[in-house]
Structure 1
Amino acid sequence: MMKASNVILGMAAMSMLGSCAMMMAKPTTYTFKHNAVAADPSAMGTAAVMADSAGMSKTTLTLSGLTPGKAYIAHYHAFGPDSSTNPCASNGPVTVGFPNFTADAAGSATVMLSADMTKIAGDMGAYINVHYASDPSVVPVCAAIKMTKG
């Protein structure tokens, strides 16, 4: 009797673990492109975006080629009035900001954001750009998250 209940408990546990694994989504990864500016000419990176079942999005930026020791800011932007086939050039409003960060001695940085999905859903999260904290007009890299409106 004890062996039968252990087998049943084991099967139930395996079933529950399998269900949890299916609920966990894989992140979608977007590649940052260098903008046509002289700032950080080797800057590159990725944005891994994942939604959870609670209506939150989790985004991890992994960047390299930044200026060592320099402070940066990053934001999600909605499509702007100049949108075309390049969301990064559309000058859209900020919808949610990442925590400020500083590149390490090798010029690398990883920054994470957890935000309500409504802040990036639809046309709200059309692109992510990384700015110099000291001069937000300098945008070394941008990642298009959505390519067209609607």
Structure 2
Amino acid sequence: MKGSNIVLGMAAMSLLGSCAMMMAKPTTYTFKHNAVEADPSAMGTAAVVADGMGMSKTTLTLSGLTPGKAYIAHYHAFGPDSSTDPCASNGPVSVGFPNFTADATGSAKVMLSTDVSKIAGDLGAYINVHYASDPSVVPLCAPVKMAKG
């Protein structure tokens, strides 16, 4: 009997923890179109939520992309060119999203679950969306953190 109470208690704690994660409100960041000719109607949001247990989930909801085109997206840390625009700082990749392809309407939704430490502090300063075929083409950027430190 005592053992089943312990198991029941552990199950209840697990259930409460998962409920807390589902009730956490995400912080939403808006992508801005970079000054490139690629995907001139591209736009979207990044919704970021931490579960309180060391993990973070980021959901990118994008539209205006080239239908059927493959893309990659990354969190970037602040780079050496940091000023008031993290998207212009040319920082290193801290963690990548799964590769994805825009659907027939030019929309895409991609999710990343990662350890918070990989995007904490200055490591998650911005999110770039790149062409998979040419990562130098960056139609979208979402500043997640505006200043170092």
Normalised-by-shorter TM-score class: 0.7 to 0.9
1:40: which partner in 2? 39
Q: Is the 8 A contact 2:21 2:51 kept in 1?
A: no
1:135: which partner in 2? 134
1:50: which partner in 2? 49
1:103: which partner in 2? 102
TM-score (norm 1): 0.85
Deviation at 1:25, TM superposition (A): 1.4
Gaps of 5+ in 1: 1-15
Does 1:147 find its partner at 2:127? no
Gaps of 5+ in 2: 1-14
TM-score (norm 2): 0.86
Deviation at 1:54, TM superposition (A): 1.6
* Off by >2 Å, runs of 4+ in structure 1: 20-24
Percent of paired sites with the same residue: 87
AA partner of residue 33 (structure 2): H
Matches of 1:23 and 1:45, distance apart in 2: 22
AA partner of residue 130 (structure 1): V
Does 1:27 find its partner at 2:26? yes
1:68: which partner in 2? 67
- CA distance 1:22–1:124, change in 2 (3 Å): closer
Greater Rg by CA? 1
Q: Is the 8 A contact 1:24 1:52 kept in 2?
A: no
